[in-house]
Chain A
Amino acid sequence: MLRKIRTAVAIAVIAILTFGFIDFAGVLDNPLLQKIQFGPALLSLSIVTLVCLIAATLLLGRLYCSVICPLGIFQDFFNWLSKKFDKKKKYGFKPEQPWLRWGVLAVLVIAWLCGFTFLVGLVEPYSAYGRMADELFRPVYLFGNNILAAICEKFGNYSFFKVALSLKSISAFVVALLTLLVIGHISYHHGRTWCNTICPVGTLLGFFSRFSLLRIRIDKDRCNHCLACQRKCKAYCIDSANQQIDYSRCVDCFDCIDSCRQKAISFGLAPRKSQTPTVDESKRQFLKSTLVLAALAPAALEAKVTGKKDTRVPMSPPGSVSHRNLLNHCTSCHLCVSKCPSHVLKPAGMEYGLGGIMQPVMKFDEGYCNYDCNLCSQVCPAGAIKPLTVEEKHKTQPGRVVFDINICVVNVNRTSCGACAEHCPVQAIHMVPFQGGLTIPETTPDLCVGCGGCEFICPVKAVHIEGNPIHLEAKAPQQDTVIETQDFDFGF
């Protein structure tokens, strides 16, 4: 029964969460399930979410890993698939690998402190799933939609519309594909091994689930050591011979409950423990080493060479405050990338340096940032892009316009253009009289909101936006005097 409930909830959660990533029509513009993920909540220090998730783990164990974590549910799917092909599939008991688990976590903490958030994002389970959804599942969904739209169009029905299918970034695509292959392989053959060795969220929640109030319990009197539960346990955490369960690894899948013919396994209150608490040496070691490295990290940061390869400063999305803030918080789940209606946000390559690979960067090849749109700031679960109201966004300057008159078609070809000024929502570029009745762009960078409309439309890229590593405030445009409406006639 519990297992069925777990499965039903998990399916519903992953369906809604995935739809949040692949939906392009604005049906689910404020995906809530994305906001209760542990990894982003930790990086954004969303105390409420963290406290709730930890409290839930202290109460129920790592149920999070079975019904909220999309990567966990995704692995359960592969696990289920493997059982369809191999009816006799059996697991067993394996001892915990504390050094590996805590070692990986330690490396990630150090990497994060040194600004290599890329590494954290790579294994943070929600973000790893998000990238798969955005880079792999979304194109499939769009492709299906486009076929449907094309068929409808043939019959004169325009209820569905096509959406451009393009590769946002090769590196992000490759990373997502590798994640799919690696996680798929591990979960197909080795159950939840990933979650109990590599996954940082699994390690942290595993620490709390040791003390959970409700947990899987073996009735020692009923148990006849048949090993049925152990063979079912995809987390390899039931030691049936000794009637022991490693609660740090149990993900509350409840598969064991149904497997026990003796009805010796139940989920309930923990029996009184009489064993003396043992000191976990590895954990101590981990805490020690973390502290030492935390102390060393800032020095390492200082020493980092800040050589620039590209002369252009990348532009982080409005609301991200600064490159530093983005770097510290973004786990590259690509929810913003997937939600951006103008296809401006793209996974970065080396624009932000090594640490910021795959984090969102504004690119104006396919479109420009809509003046009144603040969607990316609303959906970010990690506080990497802080929520902005539309009014706040109008005052945010993530980058500034730069104009090169030597390339401009008006100057070079002596023809009229004005495409840049036409697209500027704040007249940070406006046209001023030039020679022979022509007009030429003039910039007021203080007004610029960095939307990139000018850069997108300029036929020769004489205008572009230079990112502000720390976002500035855009000045409000001066209000013009209202033209009197009375003194005109037909005029001809």
Chain B
Amino acid sequence: MDRRDFLKTLAAAGALVTVKSSGMMDVMASTVPSGSQAAAADNADLAAVMNGEPAQMLEAAMKELGGIERFIKKGDKIVIKPNIGWDRTPELAGNTNPDLITALIKMCQDAGAAEIKVFDHTCDNWTRCYDHSGIEAAVKKAGATMVYAHEQSSYERVDIPKGVSLKNAQVHKAIIECDKWINVPVLKNHGGALMTCAMKNHMGIVWDRRAFHSRGLHQCIADICTYKPAVLHIVDAYRTVATNGPQGRSASDVVLTKALFASPDIVAVDTAAGKFFTQINKNIRFEDIEHIPDGQKHGLGTMDLESINVKRVRL
């Protein structure tokens, strides 16, 4: 780039900033007849939906948030990261609901995603988890790619500059290489972390989870969330493992809660889900779920739901 080009670029950029800050963009946007961008100002920061089927609730939530197009663009390489940790059927809610994954893949396809990969580093034997969770079948049927994550060679070591306890980690290549990723956890009780949700779901993008446990689970969870934040977090709380989590021993641990929370703010979505969860399992105090405030300290988002635009929808 020579000096002339540089100056030109600088001038153009300066003009753009001026236009944007003067509100010209909004004026321009409002002239677009479709109206989808006109509503942008009204988009929710967090959508909470109750009393629907997974696909229905996803649709309602995305409507409040301004559509999936707000988060992904045509031609994007997308990764969807559900929780597929356990050899459990959808009824036992150990994993993200496969119907939700199907609906989300369809949404991304309609938005023009160039590539959609789905994976999780499972705890139980991976072939059984992929199979019995119903997610592999759902992904293949919807026309997305199920990627395996059981082999160390699928991971690469990356630095986590903002990490406090976790300075580096081996992260799955699909996450490293994608343009954007969507985090789709399932809300559950957890013996150690008390609750597992959007932040805890990041343990499925790394190879060596033992390091998390030995270096302080809550801080490491908060640290890994700073690596490459997902553009959107969709919490599946259609069925919730309320006790004996995260696996649950039997159907008696599972509550049909029929809820879904979605937000680009991971701390806000875990706060909402956490407050929802502590009504179901009253033995757990929200204040004890330490990784949520740790995440706020990292600047990943806010726990103050009053300060953001929250939309509650009952279907």
Footprint of B on A, CB under 8 Å?
26, 150, 156, 158, 161-164, 341-342, 367, 370-373, 409, 413, 415-419, 421-427, 430-431, 437, 439, 453, 457-460, 477, 479-483, 485, 487-492
Contacts and interface: CB of A to CB of B under 8 A. Distances in A.
Of A163, A367, A416, A439, most buried by chain B (CB within 10 Å of CB) is: A416
A459 B278 contact: no
A437 B283 CA distance: 12
Interface residues of B, number: 61
B247 A422 contact: yes
Nearest to B151: A162
Given A490-B50, A490-B312, A417 B276 contact: no
A437 B285 contact: yes
Contact of A480 (B244, B256, B278, B310): B244
Contact of B257 (A373, A423, A424, A488): A488
Contact of A430 (B124, B194, B244, B276): B244
Contacts of B243: 480, 483
Contacts of A431: 191-192
Contacts of B194: 416, 439
**Interface SS of B by simple majority:** mixed
B201 to A, nearest CB: 13
Nearest to A477: B249
A26 B279 contact: no
Contacts of A423: 123, 247
Nearest to B258: A485
B254 to A, nearest CB: 9
A431 B277 CA distance: 18
- Which of B192, B249, B277 has the largest number of chain A CB atoms within 10 A? B192
Given A437-B287, A490-B312, A156 B252 contact: no
B80 to A, nearest CB: 14
Contacts of B211: 459
A492 B145 contact: no
B256 A485 contact: yes
Contacts, number: 145
Contact of A418 (B192, B209, B253, B280): B192
B273 to A, nearest CB: 9
B275 interface: yes
Contacts of A416: 192-194, 216-218, 290
Interface string B29-52: 000000000000000000010100
Contacts of B50: 490
B160 interface: no
Interface of B: 48, 50, 87, 115, 123-125, 127-128, 145-148, 150-151, 153, 190-194, 209-211, 213-219, 242-247, 249-250, 252-253, 255-257, 259, 271-272, 275-281, 285, 287-288, 290, 305, 310, 312
A145 to B, nearest CB: 12
Given A164-B151, A373-B125, A482-B252, 17 more contacts: A150-B153, A158-B148, A161-B151, A372-B87, A418-B190, A418-B191, A421-B191, A422-B246, A431-B191, A437-B290, A439-B194, A457-B210, A481-B252, A483-B242, A488-B280, A492-B48, A492-B310
A481 B252 CA distance: 7
Contact of A492 (B191, B214, B250, B305): B305
A371 B87 contact: yes
Contacts of A419: 192, 209-210, 213
B217 A417 contact: yes
B249 to A, nearest CB: 5
Nearest to B146: A158
Q: Of residues B151, B190, B214, which shows the largest number of chain A Cβ atoms within 10 Å of its Cβ?
A: B214
B128 A372 contact: yes
